[in-house]
Amino acid sequence: MKILVPIKQVPETSNVKMDPETGTMVRSGVEPIVNPLDLYAVEEAIRLKAKYGGEIIAISMGPPGAKKALQEVISMGCDEGILLSHRKFAGADTWSTSYVLAQAIKKIGKFDVILCGERATDGDTGQVGPGIAAWLDIPFSTYVSQISEVNKDTITVKRIVENGYQLVGIEKPTLLTVVKEINFPRLPTLDGKIRSKKIEIPLWGPEDIDAKIENLGLKGSPTRVVKISKPKVSRDGEVYKPNNEKETEEVVDRIIEFFEQKEIL
């Protein structure tokens, strides 16, 4: 069984910043991590390999530093990693990103299943996984909470829907985006970390994956951020600073009255 897992290196959620001029994310000077939701896809791939055999290839598009993300998932149990990195990829939206990943997958060749995280914590769109499936023209299922059965030609999954769960049978090859409910990701092992340092991670550019230049990077991205604004949080309140016992009693009475008006007391 050949399993492909696209992963992304993202800034920690609390440190996400946007460039108001370009509408793209500012990544310089921010400590990156593996997208936490991708780790559930990695874990599920490792479990499928343990049950059915095969190999796991992790793929990431990003700057040269994204090699660390691939090393981390290799230390968890992935067999190989491929890094898609080039200046022409910079500034890509979800459409362009899914195109590049799909082109890389075409180069890899035959596979059984692609496992993706539900979404990335920086963009929060959940569009790249389905986008890859569209470029490859393969069936896919989103919000998968359990892979119930894997046969020669089909995979049966349980997916979360608005009113509960849905059991779906899908022909292979297929793409699945998984949710956090599916498993609990393991930690990298010491042996895995040692192995990840020894594995050569190839670096692929546009020429390596036969990508059309007009589909790459910021210029090849149809999405445009026209305006960025921060929500304003305003709260009306009163500050009491009693100076003696009498004023303290008055403040307490006002607070009790306020709670009674709000039906808290």
* Tens-digit pLDDT profile for residues 212-237: 999 999 999 998 777 777 777 666 77
pLDDT value of position 16: 60
Dihedral-angle region of residue 36 (phi above 0 means left; psi in -120 to 50 means alpha; beta otherwise): alpha
Maximum Cα interatomic distance, the chain, rounded to a whole number of Å: 81
The pLDDT, as a whole number, for residue 21 is 64
Provide the pLDDT for residue 92: 93
Q: pLDDT value at position 41?
A: 97
Q: Is the link from the previous residue into 173 a cis peptide, with omega within 30 of 0?
A: yes
Number of H helices and E strands in the chain, helices first, is 6, 11
- pLDDT for 46 equals 97
What is the Cα 76 distance to its own chain's centre? 17
| pLDDT tens-place values along the chain, 265 residues long | 999 999 999 987 665 666 666 555 665 666 889 999 999 999 999 999 999 999 999 999 999 999 999 999 999 999 999 999 999 999 999 999 999 999 999 999 999 999 999 999 888 899 999 999 999 999 999 999 999 999 999 999 999 999 999 999 999 999 999 999 999 999 999 999 999 999 999 999 999 999 999 999 999 999 877 777 777 766 677 888 889 988 899 989 988 988 888 888 7
State the pLDDT at residue 90.
92
Q: What is the mean pLDDT of the chain?
A: 91
Name every residue whose Cβ is closer than 8 Å to that of residue 4 and which is 6 or more positions away in sequence. 56, 57, 58, 59, 105, 108, 111, 113, 114, 115
In this prediction the pTM is 0.81
- Between CA 265 and CA 263 the distance in angstroms is 5
